[in-house]
Structure 1
């Protein structure tokens, strides 16, 4: 099945088609932020505050209003999409890479190597992901790339566990036994037979994982241990606006809606992708 055919099948469902539209829109907005954003996201406008020094609500000059420093909220949200996607793609990519490497190695070699790797994975899973991420982010100096690395360090364990189970199941099949009997090298078995069968699972987790990563980044930024101001991210926009939750609801409403929309979109696309690539899992939670 080609990529075009797969997308066409996914778009048969209205919810998935809308989710793809949301994802594509956010990606395009982040790629062309410097052309789309009406203002510099860090520019403080004197006319961006009321006479009392409060943020302005949405108006003809600032379409989504301003924040507590008189900066254009729309511009900060557009540039914040860059932060969310960079962390989402980088952190999830590292997590998929580490998880696949650990899972395939443990599932294919088994023995003491597999036991050591899986016990290490179980140990990591014993710690609450959010608390571990907060601890790591607090120890290291928070920055865009450090946050991505921290999120990857707490997210790879789920991938490793799933890939481990899949690797054991595939390694037990007859065609793998036949290849071994014929004297096929480990390299050939891994790259010609095992990894191609794992690819659908990896693709699904690569999609679903971005949703988790976006939420975790927003949570860390909201708690003040994520991406640090003045770099805009949807999480730290909410964090900076805590004192205006009731009087300037747009400062929370717009970034919060974007976080939920993007996370939900990746979840819906990931579920649909799972159903298409592995029909035996259709309808299973």
Structure 2
């Protein structure tokens, strides 16, 4: 019976959400995420104008962007497009890439980390040496190289980011899985003739759910920032597709005369990344068994 008690996993429960709502910063993060997701999903119905439409009245007589006004709430960009509409569509781009890229990186990292942690010998050695090799390269530099090799598109950018973001979660899950694999309840299952699949799915993976959830949440913030960086450098999402990073890239020459063209998308990037970080940090505190009862 003692072994059964030990094997009960610390996993997310319905009470986690209630505890999350007791944290003001986490609630702020959830509200920001909900608003941005709403704007991204319903973008075609809530944007005031087509994000790619160029307005003759959207430029001054000298051909400069318009400042925020009654018609264009966030002003216009250097070719007369409504900045508010492009910001809203840029949210859709950031979230699509964030969810796809982070989802793939979590799957890859989880598979590598759990496999390397459970199996010993050459399997563990090969997988973790490869992980160490990937960690040796700066993520941004590696992403730039991969993005330069492939023709940038929404899917390619997501896959490039996924290829450089899986190593952290793989390393963490490797350590946790290796520790779990040596626990008494796992040894007892092996003695009873349980197969590898049963042990991994019934006794090891449930213990790792909390870690995966936290890293999946925090990872979206990293993904959004990396996508914006690649788009700003011109090797991410390509115009005319709206992305917060390429909006800054396209309008940076007007930084001194039309600073809103840089500050507004920059603020959007920071706000979304901050929101996911706040929620992820709160989840880490709540789901970490060493923090139970301290909040």
With the shorter chain as reference, the TM-score category is over 0.9
Match of 1:16 among 26, 40, 59: 26
Is this contact kept in 1: 2:43–2:89, CA < 8 A? Answer: yes
Task: Give the counterpart of 2:269 among 226, 247, 259.
Answer: 259
Is residue 77 from structure 1 mapped to residue 82 from structure 2 by the alignment?
no
Higher relative contact order (CA 8 A, sep 6+): 2
Question: Which residue of structure 2 lines up, in the alignment, with residue 219 of structure 1?
Answer: 229
Deviation, structure 1 residue 97 = 0.4
Match of 1:280 in 2: 290
Instruction: Map Cα deviations across residues 75-113 of structure 1 (whole Å, 9 max, x no partner).
Output: 000000010000000000000000001111111012111
The answer to whether the 8 Å contact 2:228/2:244 transfers is yes
CA contact (8 A) 2:90 2:244 kept: yes
Partner of 2:6: none
**Match of 1:241, SS?**
helix
Match of 2:75 in 1: 65
Deviation of 1:2 after TM superposition, in Å, equals: 7.3
**Distance between the aligned counterparts of 1:105 and 1:2, measured in 2?**
23
TM-score, normalisation: structure 2: 0.93
CA RMSD of aligned residues (A): 1.2
Which of 217, 232, 243 aligns to 1:233? It is 243
Q: Is contact 2:12-2:209 (8 Å) kept? A: no
- Unaligned segments of structure 1, at least 5 residues: none
Q: Distance in 2 between matches of 1:2 and 1:183?
A: 29
SS in 1 for 2:258: coil
In structure 2, list runs of 5 or more residues that go unmatched.
1-10
Aligned to 1:192: 202
Structure 1 residue 248 displacement after superposition: 0.5
**Distance verdict in 2 for CA 1:3–1:82, change over 3 Å:** farther
Say whether 1:250 aligns with 2:250.
Answer: no
**Partner of 1:122 in structure 2?**
132
Partner of 2:7: none
Total equivalences in the alignment: 282
The residue number in structure 2 matching 1:28 is: 38
Output the CA distance in 2 between the equivalents of 1:229 and 1:4: 42
Q: How does the TM-score come out when normalised to structure 1?
A: 0.97
Once residues 246 and 263 of structure 2 are traced to their aligned partners in structure 1, the CA distance between those partners, rounded to angstroms, is: 13
Deviation beyond 6 Å, 4+ runs, structure 1? none
SS in 2 for 1:131: helix
CA distance in 1, matches of 2:60, 2:46: 26
Between the aligned partners of 1:2 and 1:166, the Cα distance in structure 2 is 17
The 2-side partners of 1:181 and 1:29 are apart by: 54
SS at 1:101's partner residue?
Answer: helix
**Whole-Å separation in 1 of the counterparts to 2:46 and 2:187:** 56
Distance 1:208 1:225 in 2: 24
Change (3 A) 1:278 1:2: closer
Shift of 1:33: 0.3
